[in-house]
Structures are given as C-alpha cells and as structure tokens.
Amino acid sequence: MKFGKNTEFDRDFYQKNLMGPSAVRLIEEFAGRLPLIHDMRVLDLGCGTGLTSIFLVKEFGVQVFAVDLWIAAAENYERIRQFDLEDKIIPIHANAHDLPFSEGYFNAIISIDAYYYFGTGEDFLDRRMAPLLAKDGFIAVAMPGLQKEFGENVPEAIKPFWTDEVCETFHDKNWWKSLWEKSTKTTVKDCFSLRCHKTAWEDWLECDNPYAKGDVKMMEAEQGKYFDTLALIAGLKEKSIEVRK
Ligand SMILES: C[S@@+](CC[C@H](N)C(=O)[O-])C[C@H]1O[C@@H](n2cnc3c(N)ncnc32)[C@H](O)[C@@H]1O
C-alpha cells in the first residue's frame, strides 16, 4: 500500500501494526499542512509502532525521535531496521509527562492518535511541550474526538461505549482549542477536522485485532453522526510559523 510519494507498506505489515484509526492516513493528510523541512528534528510523541515516524522520514527527510510508552523501543528498532532507517529514527521508551530531552530540542512535536491520552490537563502544553520547542518550532496533534460535545446528553447509541476513559478524552474541536488557548507560551495556528476520518477508521476496522473488532460495534452504532478526527497546530507565542491552508 502506497502513502505519500515514497512510503510503501505491505498490507499485512500495515494491518498488523495499526493501533487505532490509521495513523498513516492521518499523517499523510496532516503533514501536507505542516512546515516540515529536511533534517528538522521531530518528536513523534506516542508513536506506537512507529508507522508515522517511518512516513515522516521517507516523505520529508526529517530526523525523528520516536517516543512511546506501551511499545518497547527495542521492538520499534526492529521495525525501523526493516526500513533501513536506523540512522534517521531513534526509538525511545518514555512517558510524555517525563520526557528526557533538553529545552528547545525539537523543531516539531507531532502526535497522532495519542495526545488525548496524556494532554487533557490544563498545564500539559505549557509545562511539558512548549519548553521542548526550538524558537520557530511547532506542535501538531491529530486525534479522534467528537463533532460536538455531548455534555449531559450522551446519545443512547453511544452509551454502551461511553466509558470513563472515553468520556474524559473524547472532545470536540472547540474544547481542545479553548484548552490550548489557555496556554501562556503557545498560540493556536489552526484547528480543523481531517477529511480522511472515514478511511482511517475503515482501515482500522478491517484489521484482525481484538481492539478493532471491539470498535466495529461502536462505529456501527455511531453511524458517522458523532465522531470526528481533529487536528490542532500551535507555535510559540510571537513566533511565526507558516501553516498551509
Ligand atoms: C492508540 S495508540 C496510537 C499509536 C500511534 N500513534 C498510532 O496512531 O498508531 C496510543 C499511543 O499513545 C501512547 N501513550 C499513551 N500514553 C502515553 C504517555 N503518557 N506517554 C507516551 N506515550 C503514551 C501509547 O503508548 C500508544 O502507543
């Protein structure tokens, strides 16, 4: 399966390594809006199995620090080696709340289908992300969310799937934009829905993965009415980054 201009994944490899709605579909669309330049230092935060890291290197020639909590760095290194990218991708096992990097280290922090697991707190952006950005750096996140906040009115069809974890982490664009606008260190440059929402979910639901099988029922109940895939981009205050429209 071909993504972007240079990235090719064997179908079995792709399906085996997806961990949710296709991160590759999301990054393929989202990256087109980002000012990515050859040799930039990029943090791929919550990279999972590293498919997005591979895509970023193959398409943009950036250097990636592929950080994840649930997937071992050694396991990601084996995958990275299959693509001969060990000089360009550095796999690291770390928690987003305690990252082992120097201030101003990254030109970009990118997080696909992961930020909602660790970034819903009010001070996360200022305390954990902004300090890591170089002066013209940016943070770009894409993740599942809602078309509109439910508040007290969770639709009947969704109730069986509305666990405490989903309730705390699934929000709409306005919720996330308001959260990021509380930041004293960054400015929101853009906030929008990704067009590949449906395709990204279809790819995931086709996978022979118990989590994907569980999500099939949820997406049948949802019928395209409530969920969305959101994207946000922010830069450090008073620094200009160019976001493509
Ligand atoms: C749904 S998976 C998505 C993985 C990958 N980005 C993708 O889309 O295929 C969410 C990822 O977030 C990572 N994650 C969750 N909490 C984290 C934390 N506190 N620090 C770092 N990574 C975290 C998990 O390890 C997991 O790989």
Does pLDDT of 239 surpass 70?
A: no
Question: For 133-152, how does the pLDDT look when each residue is reduced to its tens digit (9 = 90+)?
Answer: 999 999 999 999 999 999 99
Q: Which CATH superfamily is domain 2-235 in?
A: Vaccinia Virus protein VP39 (3.40.50.150)
Mean pLDDT of 87-97: 98
Does pLDDT of 242 surpass 70?
A: no
Question: For 168-221, how does the pLDDT look when each residue is reduced to its tens digit (9 = 90+)?
Answer: 999 999 999 999 999 999 999 999 999 999 999 999 999 999 999 999 999 999
Q: Which residue's C-alpha comes closest to atom 17 of ligand 1?
A: 69
Ligand 1: atom nearest CA of 20 is: 1
Ligand 1: atom nearest CA of 112 is: 6
Q: Indicate the pLDDT class of residue 14, thresholds 50, 70 and 90.
A: very high
3-state secondary structure of 227: strand
Domain boundaries, the chain: 2-235
What secondary structure letter does DSSP report for 21?
S
Which pLDDT score is estimated for 244? Answer: 72
Q: Which residue's C-alpha comes closest to atom 10 of ligand 1?
A: 114
pTM above 0.85, yes or no: yes
**Containing H/E element for 215?**
helix 210-222
For tokens 């390594």, the residue is 17
3-state secondary structure of 189: strand
- Whole-number average pLDDT of the chain: 96
Q: Which of 164, 158, 118, 143 is nearest to 228 (CA)?
A: 143
Q: Tell me the best of 69, 92, 97 to mutate to test the pocket of ligand 1, counting ligand atoms within 8 Å of each CB and taking the most.
A: 69
